Every structure is written in structure tokens, then in C-alpha cells.
Amino acid sequence: MKTLNSLLIQESNILYNSYMQEVKLRDKDNEKFHHEYLLTQYENLEKCLYANSGYEGLTREGFFAYMLNAKLNGEQVENIILLRNHPLFKKALGEYASKKKKDVEQLLAIAINNEGKAYCGEYGVTKAVKIEVEIQEEATIINQKLKDLLDTGNITEDDYQEMTQILYYLFNYYISQANGEQLPYDLITDKEYKHLLLNAKRNNTTFAQELTEERLRRRFLFEDAQTEQENDYITRKGNTK
């Protein structure tokens, strides 16, 4: 079992890799507004992690060295727990876990995802994701299967700990998506960005106001799709009784 200090070192590294991935994408494609926005958010998150841990330096290497011997007090631990619940933190850990989940999928011969159905509404087709209760049910089943494999000696304790940690990151991210926490990080293309700037001029508003309106519109579409997903889930559960 990892200590909180060693876990934070690992997760800080995951945050950094997510940041660097955005740098690569910014330089590779044309969606610079989106990637610049995420880069700023990751930078802020890293600063918060350092501050909440009591680290006063600026470098990752210094943070790692500090965390090896740091004795966090109760307030620091509480603040770190709150920070780890930040949607962007869940995004970084969840995307990391998405790349690692294949070992669990191969071991259990299953596919793990949160894909919901596509629903046709007033503004076109919107893709839903599984609702929270669906995700929790699947997480319980999969974790129990891993526990059974551990109890029968088919996987080691180290394998079990690593896989359950990956699943924790993954399902936590899925639930975050189901609850709409990840919507602020959805892609807004540079074309859409320019359109919002144009609307701000036409409507005598600000870009920030237009961006807020666009995100509200997307949230309405998302919530409509999630309502349909929930209704579909209730119907399916009713048909199995």
C-alpha cells in the first residue's frame, strides 16, 4: 500500500505528463485556444498541490525530494484530499488510467468504458455517458472479480493493488463525467473560438460572456442526454426483474 507521500509523487508526475501532452497537442494541431486553456489550468493545479503540501519551491525535482521526508499535518492532508477531488485532477488521473486499463481488460476478458447511447434531441444527436449508478455497479463487479483472483492466488498482492488503483482513477473519472464535472474541459475549437469572438462584437458583450453561454448550451444538451440514459437504465433494470 502506497503512503500518501509516495502517491502524491506519482500523481504529480501524472499531472506533469498531462501538461506535456497538451504542449505537444498545442504544437501539433490547430486547436491552440483549447490546449492553452488546459495548460493554464494544469499549471494552477500544480501550484495548488505544492502549496497544500507545504512545498515552497518551484521545481518538480524539488517537490519530489521534499515529499520523500515531508510530514504532512492534518490540515495539509485535508486540503490535498480536496484538491484530488478537483475535476481536472480526476481528468489527468482518469486519462492515465485509460491507457493502463488494458491489463485488467485482458485479465478479465471484458471491455471497460463509460459509453452511453446516442440520443436525438432538438439540437441534433448527443452522446450520453453511463450514469453514476451504472458505473458504481460495474466497478463493484470488476473489483470483486479481482479480489477473487487474489484470494485464489491467480494474481499477486502487488498486481491487485496496482489494478485496483487504476480502476479507482478510471471509475472516479467516469463518475465525474457522468455528473457533468468535465464539461468545462470539453474541446472548443479555434473555429468556435473565433465565432464566439465575433458574437461578442455583434452582441456588444464580452468573450467571457459568450463562452459562458456556449458552455451552458452544451450543459443543457448533456443533461438532456443523461436524462434519457437514466430512463433507459431504469427501463432495463425493470425488464430484468
pLDDT digits (tens, 9 = 90+) for 179-237: 999 999 999 999 999 999 999 999 999 999 999 999 999 999 999 999 999 999 999 88
φ, ψ (nearest 5 deg) of residue 118: -95, 135
Q: Can you give the pLDDT at residue 241?
A: 58
* 116 sits in which H/E element: strand 115-121
18 touches 92 (CB < 8 A): yes
What residues have CB less than 8 Å from 209, skipping those under 6 apart? 200
Q: Can you give the pLDDT at residue 190?
A: 92
Domain boundaries, the chain: 1-84, 110-241
Nine cell digits for residue 46: 500544480
Q: Can you give the pLDDT at residue 40?
A: 96
Q: Can you give the pLDDT at residue 124?
A: 73
Q: Can you give the pLDDT at residue 1?
A: 58
The torsion defined by the Cα of 47, 32, 97 and 167, in degrees rounded to 10, comes to 80
In which region does residue 204 sit, left (phi positive, over 0), alpha (psi from -120 to 50) or beta (all else)? left
Could you tell me the pTM of the whole model? 0.93
Q: Can you give the pLDDT at residue 120?
A: 82
User: Which is it for strands 124-129 and 115-121: parallel, antiparallel or unpaired?
Assistant: antiparallel
What is the full DSSP assignment across 12-71? Answer: HHHHHHHHHHHHHHHHHSS-HHHHHHHHHHHHHHHHHHHHHHT-----HHHHHHHHHH--
Residue 123 in 3-state DSSP?
Answer: coil
Residue 119, beta-bridge partner list: 126
Which residues, given as ranges, of the chain have pLDDT below 70?
1, 123, 240-241
